[in-house]
Structure 1
Amino acid sequence: MKTSTVSATRRGFLIGATLTGGALLVGCSPADALSAGSKVKPGAFGPFIKIAADGAVTVVNKHIEFGQGSHAGIAAIVAEELGADWDKVRVEQAPANAKLYGNPLLGLQLTGGSTAIASSWTPLRNAAAAARAMFVQAAAAKWNVPAGEITVADGVVRHAASGKSAGFGELVADAAQVTPPQSPTLKDPKTFTLVGTDRVRRKDALVKATGQATFTQDVRLPNMLIAMVARPERFGAKVASFDAAQARKVPGVVDVFQIPTGVAVVAQNTWAAKQGRDALKVVWDDAKAETRGTDQLLAEYRELAAGEAVPDGLEWEAFETRGTAPAAGGQVLEATYDFPYLAHAAMEPMNCVAEIGNGKRKLTFGSQAPTLDQLNAAKILAALPGSIEIETVYAGGSFGRRANFSSDYVADCLHVAKKTNGRPVKLVWTREDDMAAGHYRPLVHHRVRVVTDAEGFPVSWTHRIVTQSIMKGSPMPTKGVDQSSVEGVGGSPYLKATPHVDAQVLHTDVGVPVLWWRSVGHTHTAYVMEHTIDQLARKAGKDPLEYRRALLTKAGANRHLAVLNLAAEKAGWTNPAPAGVSRGLAVHESFGSVVAEVAEVQVTDGAPKVGRIVAAIDCGTAISPNQVASQVEGGVCYGLSAVLYGQITLKDGRVEQTNFDGYRVLRNSEAPTVETYILPQAAGAPPTGVGEPGTPPIGPAVANAILAATGQPQLSLPMVKA
C-alpha cells in the first residue's frame, strides 16, 4: 500500500465522510472527527500498554495481524523500552479509534504501506519509557531512595544499593497513580537486549497452529444468519429484475432482497445461502457496465503510449523531467512492457459479521482499515464514525484487498444486517466471489526509449506509462500525479544519473475496480527499470553488476550500492554459476527500504525454474531479524507467483479466472530457497518497511537471469502463458 497519498487529503475526506445522518462536526480536529462517538478510553499507562496485577504486560496493537507477524516486533519495542519480561508479554488487538490508534504515517487507523513497525517505533518507545518512569517514581517514593539509582529489567524494579526489588505486579497500583512524563528518557539503543535479536518471535504461532485463533469465519453468535450476495458478471452492471421464487424454496433460506450491489440471500447456514443464491434468477442491466476485454484495453494502451490521440478528458502528466534531449545520440534501446490485472488472492476470502440493532452497532472481522470501515459504516447507518464498534480478529492475508475506499464487503454486510430485525449476520464470500469481485492491481503498459553515450550509459530517458489511477475518484484524490502509478520510476537513481529525462503518465478511464496490491506501483516499475538496465548493460557489453555500480555511484545511491554489493557477494556473482543455471540481479527501493536480489534460474523448454534467491535488505533497525527474513521470503514467493503465472483477464467485460485452477499460484514444490541478509545498521536507526519491499525485485531478477541465458528480454507478463 501507498503511504504519502493518504494523509495529504485526509481533511478533504473527513468533510464529506462526517456528514452522516445530518450531523456536521464543526470545530473538531481530524482525529476528533474520525473518532466522534467512541467510548474507548485509555488506561493508566496510556492506550498502548496494560499491566495486570500479576505483572503481565499486554501490548495493544493498532495494526491488524493477517500473517505478516508485525505484532511481535511491536510488542518487542514496548518490552525493550519498558524493561518487561518478554515471556510475560502478550498482544491484543486495539479497538477502532483513530484519535488513539491512528497511524501517524497514514493519518488514519490503517495497516498498510509497510508502516506497522516504522509508525510504531517512536510512539511505542515513548509510551513504554513513560510507563517505566512511572514504575521508577512509584518505587522511589515507596522505598525512599533516589529514582536515578533504580533500574528496570525483565519485569522487575530494583534498587541495587538497598537490595530492594519488586515485580511489576507489586508496584502497578502505585505506578498507576503517577502522572506519566511528557518527554520520557529513552534507553540508549546500544543497551538493547531484545530488539534486534532472534528472541523476538511470533506470539500467535501456538494458537494458529492449534486452531485456537479466531478468524471471521470462526465467529459464531446466537441466532446468527449467513448471507451471500449475487453480483453482476460485469463491473458497473445493476439489477434490472430478479425472481426469488426458487431461492425461497431452498430449506434454510430466510429471506431474499436487493441491496445496492446485487441480490442478498439470507439463510440459517452457509450451504443454504449458497444453494439459495444459485437458485436465483437475476436479470442485469449492463447499460453502464464495462464491456471491453483485456486484449482490447491493452491494444488501446499501446496506441496511447505510442503517441495516438488522447481521448477527451484524459491528459498526459509529467512526473519527472530534466535537461534537454541530445541533438544526436548514440545507440538507442526501445522497449515496451505489458502487465496484467492481478488478484490479491488472499488465503481467506472477504467476510464480515455485523450486529445492528438492539442498541448495538458492532462489526467483527479482519479490519485492515478501521477508520475507513467506520466512516463507510457511519454513512450507511447515519451514525457518528466512532460509535461504530469494530472488533478486529485475525485475517488470512490481504495484500491490500481488505483496505479499500468503499469497504465493499463490509458495506454489503451492513446493508443486509439492516434488514434482519436485529439478528446478527455473517456475510460470506466464496473464492469465486473474491476472485471476480474486482479491486485488482491495475493493467499497465510502459514504453521506454533510452539513448546512450559512447560508453553505453544513458544520456536520454523517455518513459511513458498508461494505466488506471488507484486514487482517482476515491474519497482521497491526490493533488497532481498519482504517485501509486509512477513510484519506482520517479526518483529512480538511474534517472538521477541520466542528463535528460522525460517521464509521463496517462491515467485511463476503465470500469474495472483497481486497488493497491502488495508493493503497489513498485510491482511493475521495478520490473521495467531493472530489466531495462540489464538490457542496456548487455547492449554496452558490460557486466550488469558493474553497470549498475557505475550508475548508482553517479547518482549517489549509497544504500542501493551497499545492498547490491552484499547480495552479489553472498550469491557469489563473480564465480561461475552451476551448470545449466543463469543468474540475474535487481535492486530497488520501496517503502523506505532497499532490497537487492540475485536469482538463479534454469530455463528448460522456454520455462523458467527458479532454484535459489539471495536477498539483501537495508530496513533500518531489524526489530525481529527472523521475521524480516520471513517477510522477504514471503514477498519473494508472492512476487514470483505473479510474474510466472498471475493474470486476470476479461472477455467482453467478464472475468475469466474465478479460482486457483485458472489463476495459478506458486506451488510448494516450485518455491525457491531464499537466503536473506540484513545490512547492519547503527544502533537506534529507525526501522523502515519490510512487508512489501521483498516483492518488487524478484520479477526483474528472474527476467534478467532469463535474458542472460537466452538473450531474450521478458516484455510481457506472466512469463508462463496459460
Structure 2
Amino acid sequence: MLNHIDPAELPRALQHMLDREQAREPATLPRRSFLKVVGAGGFALGTFPHLASAQTAPAAAGLKPTEQPLAFVQIAPDGWVTVTINRLEFGQGVQTGLPMILAEELDADWSKVRSQHGNADAAYLDPLYGIHLTGGSTAIKHSYTQYRELGARARAMLLSAAAARWNVDVSTLRTQAGTVIGPGGRKAGYGELAQAAMALPVPEKVVLKDPKDFRIIGKPTSRLDARAKSSGQQDFGIDVRRPGQLTALVAHPPVFGSKVKTLDDSAARAVKGVKAVLRVPLDRGAEGVVVIADGYWPAKQGRDALQLTWDDSAVEKVDSARQRVQYRELAKQSGPRAFDADMAPLANAPRTIEAEFVFPYLAHAPMEPLNCTVQLSEGRAELWVGTQFPGVDSAAAARVLGLKPEQVKMNVQMAGGGFGRRGLPSSDYVVEACEIAKAARAAGINAPVRMVWSREDDIKGGYYRPMHLHTARIGFDERGNVLAWDHVLVGQSIVSGTFFEGGMVKNGIDATAVEGMREPYGLPMRLTVHHPKVNVPVLWWRSVGSTHTAFVMETLLDDIARATKQDPVAYRMRLFGDKHPRHRAALQLAVDQSGYGKKQLPAGRAWGVAVHESFSSVVAYVVEASVKDGSPVLHRATAGVHCNLAVNPKSVETQVQGAAVMGLSMCLPGSAITLKDGVVEQSNFGDFTVARITDMPEINVHVVPSADPPTGIGEPGLPPLAPAFANAIAQLTGKPMRELPFKLA
C-alpha cells in the first residue's frame, strides 16, 4: 500500500539499518453498500448548492455540467486520451469500466487510454442523484448512458474539426481507433484535431452505437491500474507527501463519545520528532488528543507515551451480551411495520418454524486505513483524501475551517478499499483531519498535516455494520406453501440523523435495514421493525441490509424445503413462477455450471444453494462444503450472475470473487465486533477475522448474457454466499445456522 516510504515513518532501529545498508540513496520500500438511495429528489444539487464548485469547462447551451465532454475527455497531441472518472476508485474497477464506455463511443485507440479522478466540481455529480457519490453499486449503472453520450459528443466534435480542415461534408467521414478517416484515404489522428475540436460547439443530441457494433464494451479487459498496483508503484491517499508535511495520530477515547479527563503529555513531547500535542474535538461530541510529528513512527511513539484518563460518565457503555438480551426483549414488543399481511393462518398451519437470528457488528477493515492530508494557507484549504463523498466532505471541511466552499480544493486520491467506510454523511475522519489542521495552525504550525489512522484505530474506532436480531414464526403446508410469516427485525438505523433520512426513513423504518426481505418470493409476511438508539456508530457495509436479510430469507426457505422434502433449487424455481426471469436465469446458470444434481460429491460434502437480488442485480451461488474437525469448510462456489450487460466481464468476475470472500469472512469464527463495558474488544486482524488464503474456495463466476443497460455489481456478490454455505452445513449436520459467524457446537 505504501509506495515510497519516508525513513521518518519507520522505527528508529529500522532507520539506522537503512542508513547503514543504503547510504548512497534514499530509503524506499515496496508496498484493499452502502446505501441504496431512494427518493433521490432530496439529493439534488439545488438542495445542496455547496456540494460542488463552479464548472470550469466552457458550458454548452442546454447541457448540464455532467454532460459536457470537456470536463471528462482530454486528448493530448500524441493521441493519448485521458478520461476523468466521476467516482472513487477503491478496488472495484471503475477506473477501467467508465473509460471503456466513453472510449467505445469515442472510437478511441484503447491502447492509448488512461484515466484520472475527478473532484468536487459539479461535472462529477452522480447524474441521477445529483450528489458526489461512490456507493450503492451505482457507478456503471448510473453513468453508462452518460459516458456513452460524452464519448459520442467528443467524437462528433472531432469529426466536425476534420470536416472543417479538409473542407468536406462530415457525413463522408468515419472514425477508427483514434483516427478520423476521410475521402481519398485522408487520415488525421485525434491528437492532431483535439485542440480545434474542443473549441467547437458541443452537440446536444448524438446517435449512440448499436450494441452489436461494440468493440470495447463487453470484452474482458485488463484493468488500467493493474500494473501499478501489482508492482507496488500505485500511490494511495496514505502515500501523499507534501513539502514540509507532518503526520498526526489521534488518541481516541475507548468509549464512544467520551472526553479527556486528565492529560500528562510531558513524555510524548520529549519524543524526538514530536512537534505538538493538542486536544481536539472529535466525531459525535467526543474529544481526543493528537500528536503531530515529523513521521508516523515518532507520532505513534508520542501517542503511546501519553498519560490519559477519560470521562465516560455521560455516555452509554454498550455490552454485547446485554445488548442481545435487550434486543430479544424489544423483538417481543409492537412496532412499525414494513409489511402487514394477515397472520391468522399461523394458528392452524400444518407445519411451523420458529427461529431467532443474530448478526454482530462488523468493521469495514479496508487494507488502507483511514487518512486525510490537509494544507491550510491564507483563506484557502487543500485536501488529499480517498473519499466516496467528495462534495459532502468538501462542504464539511469548509464548515470546520470557517471557509467558503469555493475556498476548499478537493484532490480525490486512489483508495485501498473502503466498503462504505469512506462515504460517511458526517464526514467524521475528514472533519477530524480539518480540526487537527486548524488546531495546528493556531499553535503556530504552518505545514501540511497528514492524519493517519492505524489498523487498530480503524477497527476499534467505528463505524460498523449494525448488530441485528431477527425472529421469525412461519406457518406452511405440506407442499411448502407459506401461509403466514411473522417476522421481527431489530437493529440500529444507519441513516437516521443524516441528510438521507428524509428520503430513506418512512413510518420510522430505515429502508436500508429491510431491503431484501420477502422479495422476490411475494410471501404473506408481517414485518415489524425496531431501531433502538445505541452508543455505537453504524454505517452501510458492503451490500448493506442484504448482509443479514439474504441470510435470513435464504436459510429459512431451505428449512422449509428440507421439512417438506423438496429439492431447494426446484422449490425456489416454483416460488419464482414466471415473474422473475432474471432470478431463474442466474440460479439455473449456477446450477448448470456447478454440476448440481448431476455429479457425485465426495463423501462428507454437501451442496448449498442461495439466490438474492441487491442493487438491481441477481447473484446465485451453488456451493460445496464440508465439516472438518468441527469447523465448516467451503470447497467450491459457483456463481450465476445477472447484471444485464457486463461492460467488463473481467471486473464482474473479480467483483463477485471479492464479494464472495467478504461473505465467507462473515461465516468464520472471530468475524465479529463485540463490546465490553463500552469498549470494542477487537483491534486488528489477529482478533477480527477475515478470510485468509487457506480459507479460500475455488470460485467460478458465470454471467447471464444480456444487452440491457448494466446494473450494479460491486455488492450483489456478497449476500447469497453466507446462506448458501450455511445451507450446505445444515444438510450435513441437520442443524440450521442461526447466527453469524457460524457456531456448530
TM-score over 0.5 (shorter chain): yes
For 1:296, the equivalent position in structure 2 comes to 322
After the TM superposition, which of the residue ranges 647-656 and 468-477 deviates more from structure 2? 468-477
Q: Secondary structure at the match of 1:240?
A: strand
Matching residue within 27, 34, 47 for 2:51: 34
Structure 2 CA distance for partners of 1:40 and 1:238, relative to 1, 3 Å = farther
Equivalents in 1 of 2:326, 2:83: separation in Å? 52
For 1:25, the equivalent position in structure 2 comes to none
1:64 corresponds to which letter in structure 2?
L
The answer to whether the 8 Å contact 2:51/2:132 transfers is no
- Deviation by residue 1:271-290 (Cα, 9 ceiling, x = unmatched): 11111111112221112222
After the TM superposition, which of the residue ranges 136-145 and 340-349 deviates more from structure 2? 136-145
- Deviation by residue 1:651-696 (Cα, 9 ceiling, x = unmatched): 11111100111112111121111100000003xx111111110000
Q: CA deviation at 1:589?
A: 0.1
Q: CA deviation at 1:35?
A: 1.8
After the TM superposition, which of the residue ranges 355-364 and 529-538 deviates more from structure 2? 355-364
After the TM superposition, which of the residue ranges 329-338 and 469-478 deviates more from structure 2? 469-478
Q: CA deviation at 1:586?
A: 0.3
For 2:43, the equivalent position in structure 1 comes to 10
The answer to whether the 8 Å contact 1:443/1:467 transfers is yes
The answer to whether the 8 Å contact 2:737/2:743 transfers is no
Matching residue within 128, 132, 142 for 2:155: 132
Equivalents in 1 of 2:80, 2:472: separation in Å? 58
Q: Secondary structure at the match of 1:59?
A: strand
The answer to whether the 8 Å contact 2:421/2:539 transfers is yes
After the TM superposition, which of the residue ranges 633-642 and 209-218 deviates more from structure 2? 209-218
Q: What is the count of residue pairs matched by the alignment?
A: 688
Match runs of 1:696-711 below 5 Å: 696-711=719-734
The answer to whether the aligner puts 1:493 opposite 2:493 as a matched pair is: no
Q: Percent identity?
A: 43
Equivalents in 2 of 1:410, 1:717: separation in Å? 32
Matching residue within 667, 679, 683 for 1:658: 683
- Deviation by residue 1:315-362 (Cα, 9 ceiling, x = unmatched): 722112235632632211111100000000110111111001245310
1:571 corresponds to which letter in structure 2?
S
Q: CA deviation at 1:5?
A: 4.2
The answer to whether the aligner puts 1:406 opposite 2:406 as a matched pair is: no
The answer to whether the 8 Å contact 2:242/2:448 transfers is yes
The answer to whether the aligner puts 1:94 opposite 2:118 as a matched pair is: yes
- Deviation by residue 1:549-589 (Cα, 9 ceiling, x = unmatched): 111116x1221111111111111111232222111010000
Matching residue within 307, 318, 336 for 2:337: 318
The answer to whether the aligner puts 1:61 opposite 2:85 as a matched pair is: yes
Q: CA deviation at 1:145?
A: 2.6
The answer to whether the aligner puts 1:461 opposite 2:485 as a matched pair is: yes
Match runs of 1:367-378 below 5 Å: 367-378=387-398
Match runs of 1:272-283 below 5 Å: 272-283=298-309
1:10 corresponds to which letter in structure 2?
F
For 1:176, the equivalent position in structure 2 comes to 198
Equivalents in 2 of 1:703, 1:289: separation in Å? 38
Q: CA deviation at 1:68?
A: 1.2
1:115 corresponds to which letter in structure 2?
T
After the TM superposition, which of the residue ranges 634-643 and 281-290 deviates more from structure 2? 281-290
The answer to whether the 8 Å contact 2:496/2:505 transfers is no
Q: Secondary structure at the match of 1:658?
A: coil
Q: Secondary structure at the match of 1:568?
A: helix
Structure 2 CA distance for partners of 1:699 and 1:204, relative to 1, 3 Å = same
Equivalents in 2 of 1:341, 1:235: separation in Å? 15
Matching residue within 568, 591, 597 for 1:574: 597
After the TM superposition, which of the residue ranges 529-538 and 113-122 deviates more from structure 2? 113-122
1:604 corresponds to which letter in structure 2?
K
Equivalents in 2 of 1:639, 1:221: separation in Å? 38
The answer to whether the aligner puts 1:712 opposite 2:735 as a matched pair is: yes
Match runs of 1:93-242 below 5 Å: 93-97=117-121, 99-159=122-182, 161-198=183-220, 200-242=221-263
For 2:295, the equivalent position in structure 1 comes to 269
The answer to whether the 8 Å contact 2:247/2:296 transfers is yes
Equivalents in 1 of 2:265, 2:57: separation in Å? 46
Q: Secondary structure at the match of 2:339?
A: strand
Equivalents in 2 of 1:629, 1:39: separation in Å? 36
For 1:484, the equivalent position in structure 2 comes to 512
Q: CA deviation at 1:596?
A: 0.2
The answer to whether the 8 Å contact 1:96/1:390 transfers is yes
1:285 corresponds to which letter in structure 2?
D
For 1:686, the equivalent position in structure 2 comes to 709
2:230 corresponds to which letter in structure 1?
A
The answer to whether the 8 Å contact 1:566/1:616 transfers is yes
Equivalents in 2 of 1:353, 1:474: separation in Å? 25
Equivalents in 2 of 1:415, 1:706: separation in Å? 50
Matching residue within 644, 649, 661 for 2:674: 649
- Deviation by residue 1:452-484 (Cα, 9 ceiling, x = unmatched): 124122111111100000011223313412111
Alignment gaps of 5+ in structure 2: 1-33, 60-67, 283-287
The answer to whether the 8 Å contact 1:318/1:502 transfers is yes
Q: Secondary structure at the match of 1:448?
A: strand
Equivalents in 2 of 1:509, 1:687: separation in Å? 38
1:677 corresponds to which letter in structure 2?
H
The answer to whether the 8 Å contact 2:318/2:535 transfers is no
2:187 corresponds to which letter in structure 1?
S
Match runs of 1:385-400 below 5 Å: 385-400=405-420
For 1:436, the equivalent position in structure 2 comes to 460
Q: CA deviation at 1:536?
A: 0.5
- Deviation by residue 1:368-416 (Cα, 9 ceiling, x = unmatched): 2101211211110122224311111111110001111221111111111
The answer to whether the 8 Å contact 1:372/1:405 transfers is yes
For 2:399, the equivalent position in structure 1 comes to 379
The answer to whether the 8 Å contact 2:50/2:395 transfers is no
For 1:670, the equivalent position in structure 2 comes to 695
Q: CA deviation at 1:248?
A: 1.3
Equivalents in 1 of 2:210, 2:569: separation in Å? 38
Structure 2 CA distance for partners of 1:652 and 1:590, relative to 1, 3 Å = same
After the TM superposition, which of the residue ranges 204-213 and 332-341 deviates more from structure 2? 204-213
Match runs of 1:544-563 below 5 Å: 544-553=568-577, 556-563=579-586
Task: Please provide the CA RMSD for this pair.
Answer: 1.8
For 2:311, the equivalent position in structure 1 comes to 285
Alignment gaps of 5+ in structure 1: 12-27, 309-314
The answer to whether the 8 Å contact 1:636/1:695 transfers is yes
Equivalents in 2 of 1:418, 1:76: separation in Å? 41
Q: CA deviation at 1:523?
A: 0.4
The answer to whether the aligner puts 1:259 opposite 2:287 as a matched pair is: no
1:195 corresponds to which letter in structure 2?
I
Match runs of 1:519-668 below 5 Å: 519-553=543-577, 556-575=579-598, 576-645=600-669, 646-668=671-693
For 2:8, the equivalent position in structure 1 comes to none
